[in-house]
Chains A and B, each alone.
Chain A
Amino acid sequence: MVATPASPASPASPASSKAPVTARPLHAAPVPVARPSAADMLSVAEPVFEIADLEVYYGKFRAVRNVNMTIRKHQITAFIGPSGCGKTTVLRCMNRMNDLVAGARVGGTLRYHGVDLYDPQVSATEVRRRIGMVFQKPNPFPKSIYDNVAYGPRLSGIRDRAKLDEIVETSLRAAALWDEVKDRLRDSALGMSGGQQQRLCIARTVAVEPEVVLMDEPCSALDPIATARIEELMRELVSRFTIVIVTHNMQQAARVSDTTAFFTAELDPSADRRCGLLVEFGATSKLFSNPQDERTENYITGRFG
């Protein structure tokens, strides 16, 4: 499937000959990974995010444009592409994290269950409670392991000790960390290894029971063994959550994701600067085995240019 090709002069209209990706049925997609239930979901799962003609500016600089995609429930969607292609920018719009960057603003629409996330009525805090995020570098609080996981639930007003104990345990189990840390829950989280810290960050995110977990290159600071554990974990978590992951690692996208979005950066004719754009969006197996766009093919075969 190919996103509307670059036609920066006019904003892509839904009525143009090449319909936005969101309108395409996905039932033709082959089974992406050995997980039949997920394959069924490719066609039937309800949309979580519907992104139409999204563009993001930092001040006057347009960082990314032409993003059209639908992200579905209980899928892992991977964003891949070279540096500067805007994949992290788009991810950070999906829970309003970009609000923290001075001068950032968006055009187009980004709907979450039909609600425009950038509607002035929408509270970024509320959005982030539902749409959690795991960052590139593990960033636990300088608190104990227990308090890291209990942080989110406490924010939502849970004070009951027994209830918190239970949330901490289930969250740490969900992040495959419980057995390693159950005897030292009171120790500082900063004493853990990088891989453990990242799983703790996942546990911390899971503890607030979000619907979506956004992951921004969650393995880039980890060694291969820790990376494998996180990937395994993502496969387990996707039965409960919808996951969107930004990765520099194409093999990782191919291994874990159901759907892949390929971004690239091209010269923006209106600004004489490079601007990211979505090139292709579709089932992972199809995108990697039979890319529809030459740029996708060049990138995944290593002939990026």
Chain B
Amino acid sequence: MARALDLRGRGDGADRAFRGLAVGAATVVLVVLGLIAATMTRRALPVLEHMGPGFFTSTRWSPADEEFGALPFVWGTLYTAAIAIVIAVPVSLGVALFITQLAPQRLKRPLVYLVDLLAVVPSVVFGLWGILVLSPHLGRSFLTAGIILAIMIIPIITSLSREVIETTPQPEKEAAYGLGATRWEMILASVWPHSKGGLVGAVMLGLGRAMGETIAAALVIGSALGQITVDPLAPGNSMPAVIANEWGEADELHKSALIALAVLLFIITIIVNLVASSIVRRSMARTAGRRT
């Protein structure tokens, strides 16, 4: 007598538990992010009511007169981050290409280790070094801050670029070498198209770090209020730096203004990241074989 075929198996208890854990972890992150955004926005409202759109457009920041215009700090953040990127990207790509393409095997590991070591130096150390070594020549200025930020983001951009570049498949490199390409020509033909999406991502992560860096920037940027200038040697201020510098002595409205700055910084970094990921996605799609 044949019994009914039993295909119920061992049950999927473990699978369900794993699923619950994964979904739970993902939810916690979202909830925390949501709470941060909600609290910060709520605390930022008083200054926005007080200043209106002027908060975003005014160039005057004078807590004593209850005048809070964020524009100089937005400028300082973007300008120092831009200086940092201009310096850090060529250096990082150069180091990454050297490590992956040129360095002899026995040099590779020490180099990787050295660059990664740069990433664990506390930012206050970079800031103090900037005061001691750069400020005597460059003053406390946009440029000094930009250079310090560049040094701080070089390890991030370098190690991400190195990993991206190393994923270039050997057959793609051999395609170029097989046609008589030199190493540099191979890098342009094989490594670059394969890696550019990831490299943009690496640069954007560096940019995010540079815009958000607080203490090093606060130490060397000069803490000048209301400076919007392209003069790299002028003292200025950035959003995170002004928050760190003024929080201690701020009254209620002033605190609200600093919180609003933080929200603004948050929004700007999110926009930068969204733009970056769309660039990465588009460039991936192109190399994956859609029409050029």
Contact = CB atoms under 8 A, between A and B. Distances in A.
Interface of A: 95, 97, 100, 102, 125-126, 128-129, 132-133, 135, 137, 139-144, 151-152, 155-156, 186-188, 190-191, 201, 204-205, 208
Chain B interface SS verdict (over half) = helix
Interface in B253-292: 286-292
Nearest to B181: A155
Contacts of B177: 97, 100, 128
B172 A155 contact: no
B251 interface: no
B179 A143 contact: no
Contact of B181 (A125, A132, A142, A144): A125
B172 A139 contact: yes
Interface of B: 105, 170-182, 185, 189-190, 193-194, 286-292
B216 to A, nearest CB: 39
A135 B179 CA distance: 12
Given A135-B174, A141-B190, A188 B291 contact: yes
Contact of B178 (A133, A142, A186, A191): A133
A38 to B, nearest CB: 26
The 3 closest A-B pairs by CB, nearest first: A190-B289, A129-B180, A133-B178
A253 B178 CA distance: 23
B179 A208 contact: yes
B182 A125 contact: yes
A193 B177 CA distance: 23
A298 B267 CA distance: 73
Interface centre among B105, B178, B290, by most chain A C-beta atoms within 10 angstroms, is: B178
Contacts of A137: 171
A255 to B, nearest CB: 25
Given A102-B105, A141-B190, A142-B193, A135 B178 contact: yes
5 contacts: A139-B175, A141-B193, A143-B292, A186-B292, A190-B288
Contacts of B291: 186-188, 191
Contacts of B185: 155
A95 B289 contact: no
